[in-house]
Amino acid sequence: MATALAAASCAAGTEEPKAEGVPSTTLCGSSLDVDARRALDRLSGESALRERKGVPFDRAVPRLRRRADVPTTRTEVCRVHRPADDAADALFTVEFVHLDALTDWPDRLPADGDSYRVGIYGSSSGRGAEIVFPCTEGLHRNGPPFLMGSLSLPGFHRPEGAAGRSELPAAEQGRAGMTILTSVTRAMAEKLGCAEEAGVPAEAVRPRPPAAYRRPSHPLKDWRWWWTHRA
């Protein structure tokens, strides 16, 4: 009897409705430009997604300024997932963190890694992307004037077909992530009032040839920076 009712229910078209998403123009505080939205389409394979709201940009700015001297503080501004998935199965997350002297960069990039001419440092891989940029006036000298925008791709470690995983090859996931992160980081730099100083271009950045990668010097370990910015 139960089987017959289930069959009748399906035949009558009473299956659960497919979860709906929102246009990509509204994601991450509406900070995604055309290039970023195209990259997101490639990454997700869907034209509409959902978002667990993070800290709005207008609230993130005073939070980042107030906690500039606490390097472990991370401010998540967006967490995006497919409509059928939970927020825990995010396609990507974007957060900003203060750069500290313990942060370091690799001597060489992974096989799926790329470097970019953006801010002080930019790199991507199948695990995500990051951009380090200066923001002296934006942080009001409450601490070292450097922020790192970080985009994580949690699905990289999940099996094929799992929630939150992109079907793109690892390197392509990272490049798409960098395009998205560039757009969000530029918007954050504008909100902080350091867009010109940040060095994040208005157009999508392209990966440099692998041989062009050089491990950058760390600004907080460089005595010249401390001498220039001494109180």
> Considering the entire predicted model, what is its pTM?
0.81
Other C-beta atoms lying within 10 Å of the C-beta of residue 199:
17
What residues make up the domain containing 179? 21-212
pLDDT in tens, 20-44: 778 888 889 899 999 999 999 998 8
DSSP state letters, the chain: -HHHHHHHHHHTT-SPPPPP-EEGGGHHHHT--HHHHHHHHHHHS-SEEEEEE-S-HHHHHHHHHHTTT-TT-EEEEEEEE-TTS-GGG-SEEEEEEE--TT----SS--TT-EEE-SSSEEEEETTEEEEEEE-TTTTTTSS-SEEEEEEE-GGGGSPTT-TT---S-HHHHHHHHHHHHHHHHHHHHHHHT-HHHHT--SSPP-PPPGGG--PPPPGGG-HHHHHHT--
Residue 12 belongs to a domain: no
pLDDT in tens, 71-124: 667 888 999 988 877 777 888 999 998 876 556 677 788 888 899 999 988 999
pLDDT in tens, 164-207: 678 888 899 999 999 999 999 999 999 999 999 999 999 889 99
Residue 72 belongs to a domain: yes
pLDDT at 72 (0 to 100) = 62
Residue 218 belongs to a domain: no
Instruction: Give the number of domains in the chain.
Output: 1
